[in-house]
Structure formats: structure tokens, C-alpha cells
Structure 1
Amino acid sequence: MPPTTRITWPDLPLHIRSTVESILGDTVTTAVSQQGGFSPGTADRVTTSTGLRAFVKAVSTAQNAHSPALHRREILATSTLPSTVPAPHLLGSHDDGDWVVLVLEDIEGRHPKTPWTQEELTLVLTALTEMARTTTPSPTLETTAERLQEDFQGWHRVVEKPTTLDPWTNTHLDDLRALADHGLAALTGDTLVHTDIRADNILLGPDDSVTIVDWPWACRGPAWMDSLLTLVNVRLHGGHDTTRLLDRLDVDRADAIGVLAGLAGFFTDGARLPAPPGLPTLRAFQRAQATSTLSWIRELLDEH
């Protein structure tokens, strides 16, 4: 994934760096910025003078007006995750109304390769299935339908303010709107859902462990949601028959197509907007997501 415009540890104000060191109880001596993702804030693996490791995420309104709110949501979600969830522990946080900081456990690992390998995909889907099993019922969070309600209105916004579309999509706009509405209604369930599963939000450990990172979108929803989102990412990078993989998920085909239509509408609608401050690669990513997801929807409808 192309890097975003990200600040790094040395860019943080002195009082924020001092706050992080207070949380850690030691002086930070090294910091290595991590690329990928869509936050303009820090994503630094830090090490202290005594060898303590941590992962620091910090952002202010100066980088992007909306990013601090996402960090606040992640603090809330991460602090309430059940112990069975394979996620970094929150070591501490800070919020002064402008700067919002998370200090997390630093997990040894790397992102899955893209295009995905079959071995790594199997590891991740197995881990997501186990996570869904152990987090039902989920912590008290808003539902997936509540979280995605506005996003899944994307095709309605496209119809209201038309944009250039490929011939198939343009011909099937009414169908896509109806499918997305069905998809939103299908987002029922009481399982903890990450809702933003991609290769860059997953770490594979040297022991084949799977850790899920970046939790601002956590909510309650269907047990199959994160696995379906993984296949959306697999489809984006190519190399697999995602329709055959979908058959292995415990999800109704019509519900899956509806959710894919809702996502495709969100990507299509978002991709035509100006790039947000500090996020120059976001719109290109959304365009690529829209294209790959729509091609999958077309394939599924043709097969059906």
C-alpha cells in the first residue's frame, strides 16, 4: 500500500514525547516509523533505554481534523477488548483535546504478503473464525449496521450527484442501491467485529500467530463480517478465486453480495471526493477498491 504523509517521533511536540515516556516510565532512545495505513499521525516502534518496546500512535488536528476522533475511538475499543482477542494491549493513552496518543504493546511480526499466499490466508481466516467464536456475545459497542449506515448510502449519493461510471455499473445503479440496502439489513449479530480488516492491519508472528491491530471501527455484527472483508482485500490484490473462497464462509450468498454492494458504493462515492488533508493516497485506494469489489459483485451475480 502506498505510504501516506505521516509524521514521525521527532515531529511530536516535546510535551507529547515526555508524556509517552511518562507512560513507559523510561526514556525513548530509538523510534522507527512504520509505513502503510491511512493515518497522518505517528506509527512508531519505540525502544527505551532499558530495552522496553512499545508502539506509539499520536495525531493532532494539525495533521487531519478527523484523525484525533478515530484515535479516541480506538482508545475506547482497545481498552474494552476481551482477553481472547489477538490484539495489542493498551499500555496507556493521552488526550489533551488536540493531541491524542495511544501507547500500545509492540507486537513482533510482519504484514501478510500481497498478493496473499494460501498459507497466510488460511492462518488469518482460521484466527478470525476463532476470534468470532470467543467474542460472542461481544462487548457493548454500537452495531455494524449503525456504524455503516451512512457509508452504505453511497449509491444513493452517486445517483443524487452523478459521476462517471463504467457502463455495467451505470446500467445497474438501481440494483446496486437495492443490494446495498439488503446488505445493511443483513448486518445483524452479536459478535465483536473489527470492520477494517486488511493486510496492513494484520501482523503475522514468527510462530505463525495472528494479531489484529488498529481497532477504531470495532463494533457488534455478524460473525462472518471480518472474514468477508479479508476476502475483499484478497480480491484487491489478486491471485485467488474469491468466489470459491466465499463458498467456504458461513454466510448467505445474498447477504454477502449485499454487503459487497454497500462497500462498493462507499468506495465509489468516496473516491470522487478531494483528498483529505494529510491523506493523499486515500482516494486512489478507494478507486482501486471500488473497481475490484464491483468486478466481484458482477461475477457473483452472473454466476447466480
Structure 2
Amino acid sequence: MTSLTKSRIRWADLPAPVRAAVEEILGDRVVAAESQHGGFSPGTADRVRTAGGGRAFVKAVSPAQNDRSPALHRAEARVAATPAAPAPRLLGCHDDGDWIALVFTDVEGRHPATPWEAGELAAVLSTLEAMAAVLTPAPAAVATTATEHLGHDFGGWRRIAADPPADLDGWARARLTELCAAADRGLAALTGDTLCHVDIRADNLLVGPDGAVSVVDWPWACRGPAWLDSLLALVNVQVHGGHDPEALLAALPLAAGVDPADLTGVLAGFTGFFLDGARQPPPPGIPTVRAFQRLQGDALLPWLARRMG
């Protein structure tokens, strides 16, 4: 998986009072912990086992690893109170103002294969469609809209236009004005009252032994259109390969009736966000995220060019 976090701390690195707080939530002593790969948080991501044989998933972080990560964990704790999502159940949360630890049920499963395999992709898209239905309307606890959440991100093309990098793709360089306008249209299209995950990627999905799909890592959740998460799944298909995302989009039930220019605009917004983000210094404790943003931006450009002509 391209998005491996190479600097992640582990269960044993947590301060003793934090480990004790987690064990209190579990009601038992942790005797084994296995760090999980994927994602970009520099905090822990451990499957733990207790003395009595119980299992759970623990993620914990403090500002010492990354100053933004604790706020994301707190946001995820609020979203995790929504029981309808196909996500691991939050067993408890420890927050001492410095360290925050989330304790979830341990979901047996693995990330979907990439390049994407047809059966797993179908299961994921079916899950996202069902999830959108269940999570509309969004719970009152989530007030942030996708337009608010992605407002700065979708300004990526304007920042690129103000200071174009030397290696900017020629097609994009010749169409910066159009790309800025398309991203603006995409941002305006992000209205809706569905609870959206907004970070759908293979490494935020788990496929269980029975084929059931669980969606993990919800810190970016917000209110938006029912089709947004499904579109982001197709973005990940474009990044990793295996299928034609344009054909998949044409057959996507949730996108039926959506103005194609709105969908193109959202793709433009994410492409600009990835390419602009990729040229920024890496955030503390997350050295690999810029390379992954560049990978995504470069992968999306051909699809965007195909749609814009």
C-alpha cells in the first residue's frame, strides 16, 4: 500500500497512564499488541489482545506526534457515536487534554486488494450506497458541511495558478482558468444532508471473511451529497487501477441525475487539492503523505482531462 506510515508509534510507546486508561475501558489487561499498517496518522493503530482473550483496536495520539492529530481523533469520537454506519463500534475514549485514545471493537478483515478486484469493488460500492441511505439525514452531532470542510482544499488550482510549479502538466497549465472555475462549481455542488466519510480509500476499508465491508477512520466526516463517498471510491480506483472509473461512474445509481459538470467539478477540486498539497512541506510526523498526494493528483489528471475535453 502506497500510504504506509513509516513513523507510527506503537502501544508500548504510550505513557503508562494512557495504557492503564485503555485497560480500564477494556476491563482487562492488554497482553499483546500488533501495529497496523496503512493510513497517515503518526499515532498508534494497534490490534490488542487482553489476558482474558478479548480483542480491540486502539488508536492514540498526542500533539507531540502531530499537532492536528488529536483534534481529528476527537472529531472521530463524536462521529463514532453514530451507530448506523458500517463502522467498528466505539467502546470508549480516554482524553486527558494531551493524549487521546479511542478504543473500538476489533473488526476481522483486510484491506481490499489493489489494483481493485471486481467482486470487492462491487461490495464496496454496494456498501456505500446502503450507507448513504442509512446516514441521511446526517446526525445532529455533525454540523460541518462538505462545502465548509473542503472550501480551502478546493482552492488548490487558484494557489497553483498564482505560483505554477515548473513540472506542472502541460494540459493543466493551459487550462488553469477553466480548472479554477470547475473546482468552484464542484464546491458549490457539495450540498446535501448525508453523513459523508470523505476519505474513502482502500486503506480505510476492511473486507471481512464473509465479504462484508466496514468503513474505518471517520475524522473528516461531514454533511454532503449522497454520491460523494461513492465518487471518492472511484477516485481510488483511478489511482490504483483495475477498472475504468468513467464506466463505473456512468453506472453508479447515486450519481444518476447529477449534473455531469458538477461531478467533473468535484474531481477538479480534489485534483487541485492533491497537486497543491503535494508541493508543500510534509506535516510533522507524516513524511509520506506528500508523495501519496502527488500520486493521486497525477492519476486524476487524465480522467479529468477526459471529462473536460
**TM range, smaller chain:** over 0.9
CA distance in 2 between partners of 1:247 and 1:267 (Å): 24
Spell out the pairing of 1:35-114 with structure 2 (5 A cutoff). Answer: 35-79=37-81, 81=82, 83-114=83-114
| 1:162 positional shift | 2.6
**Amino acid across the alignment from 2:64:** A
Shift of 1:52: 0.9
Cα offsets for 1:219-260 (capped at 9, x unmatched): 111010000000000000112111111101223311111001
Q: Which residue of 1 aligns with 2:226?
A: 223
Q: Which residue of 2 aligns with 1:153?
A: 155
Aligned to 1:247: 250
Letter in 2 for 1:253: P
Which residues of 2 match residues 171-250 of structure 1 at below 5 A?
171-249=174-252, 250=255
By how many angstroms is 1:216 displaced? 0.3
Q: In 2, Cα distance between the equivalents of 1:97 and 1:136?
A: 33
Q: How many angstroms apart in 2 are the aligned matches of 1:71 and 1:212?
A: 16
Give, in whole Å, the separation in 1 of the partners of 2:61 and 2:290. Answer: 21
User: Is 1:119 the counterpart of 2:119 in the alignment?
Assistant: yes
Aligned equivalents of 1:86, 1:265: Cα separation in 2: 30
Secondary structure, aligned partner of 2:85: coil
The residue type paired with residue 164 of structure 2 is P
Secondary structure class of the residue paired with 1:42: coil
The 1-side partners of 2:214 and 2:52 are apart by 25
Give the superposition deviation at 1:151.
0.7
State the Cα RMSD in Å: 0.9
Q: How many Å separate the matches in 1 of 2:229 and 2:181?
A: 22
Of 238, 258, 275 in structure 1, the residue corresponding to residue 265 of structure 2 is: 258
User: Aligned partners of 1:247, 1:255: CA distance in 2, in Å?
Assistant: 14
Q: Displacement of 1:84 after TM fit?
A: 2.5
Distance 1:159 1:172 in 2: 10
Identify the residue that residue 273 of structure 1 maps to in structure 2: 280
C-alpha displacement at 1:161, in angstroms?
Answer: 2.7
Residue segments in structure 1 that go unaligned for 5+ positions in a row: none
| Aligned 8 A contact 2:157 2:273 in 1 | yes
TM-aligned CA deviation for residue 160 of structure 1? 2.2
Q: Distance in 2 between matches of 1:244 and 1:301?
A: 16
Percent identity reads: 60
Q: Distance in 2 between matches of 1:293 and 1:163?
A: 17
Which deviations, in whole Å up to 9, do the C-alpha atoms of 1:148-195 show, x marking residues without a partner? 111111111112233221111111111110000000000011111100
> How does the TM-score come out when normalised to structure 2?
0.95
State TM-score, norm by structure 1: 0.97
Secondary structure, aligned partner of 1:125: helix
Find the aligned partners of 1:23 and 1:32 in 2 and give their Cα distance: 19
Task: Measure, in 2, the Cα distance between the counterparts of 1:52 and 1:255.
Answer: 47
Structure-1 residue corresponding to 2:34: 32
When structure 1 is superposed on structure 2, of 133-142 and 211-220 the one drifting more is: 133-142
* In 2, Cα distance between equivalents of 1:7 and 1:269: 28
The residue identity in structure 1 corresponding to 2:91 is: L
What is the identity, as a one-letter code, of the residue corresponding to 1:198?
R
Match for 1:16 among 4, 15, 18?
18
Deviations 1:70-116 (A, max 9, x none): 1111111112x1x3310111100111121111001110111100000
